[in-house]
Amino acid sequence: MATASTSQVISKVRSNLDFWLPFHQHAPSLANARREIYAKVERFASNDGIAFFNVLAFRGVFFGSHFAQSAHYRWFESINDWTILRTELTGEANQYGGDDAYYINEGCYGRPQKDRKLTLLDTYWERRLEWNKKFNKPIKPSIRQVFKWLKDPQDDVNLFPNIGALSAILICGDLVEAGILSMPSVKEWAELIHKLKKGAMSGMEIYGLTQKKCSAEELHAAFTSLDQVLQRELRMDEKEMMGYNIIMLEHTLCKIKRLTLKLKKDVILSEI
What pLDDT, in 10s, does the model give residues 191-239?
999 999 999 999 999 889 999 999 999 999 999 999 999 999 999 999 9
- Which pTM does this prediction carry? 0.93
Residue 250: the pLDDT is 97
Residue 232: the pLDDT is 97
Contact by Cβ (8 Å): 2, 8: yes
Residue 222: the pLDDT is 96
Strands (E), 126-269: none
Give the residues of the chain that fall short of pLDDT 70. 1-6, 269-272
Between CA 204 and CA 207 the distance in angstroms is: 6
Residue 1: the pLDDT is 46
SS3 33: helix
Please give the DSSP secondary-structure letter assigned to residue 140.
P
Please give the DSSP secondary-structure letter assigned to residue 106.
T
Residue 155: the pLDDT is 74
Q: What percent of the chain clears pLDDT 90, i.e. is strictly above it?
A: 82
Neighbours of 63 (CB within 10 A): 24
Which amino acid is located at 192 in the chain?
L
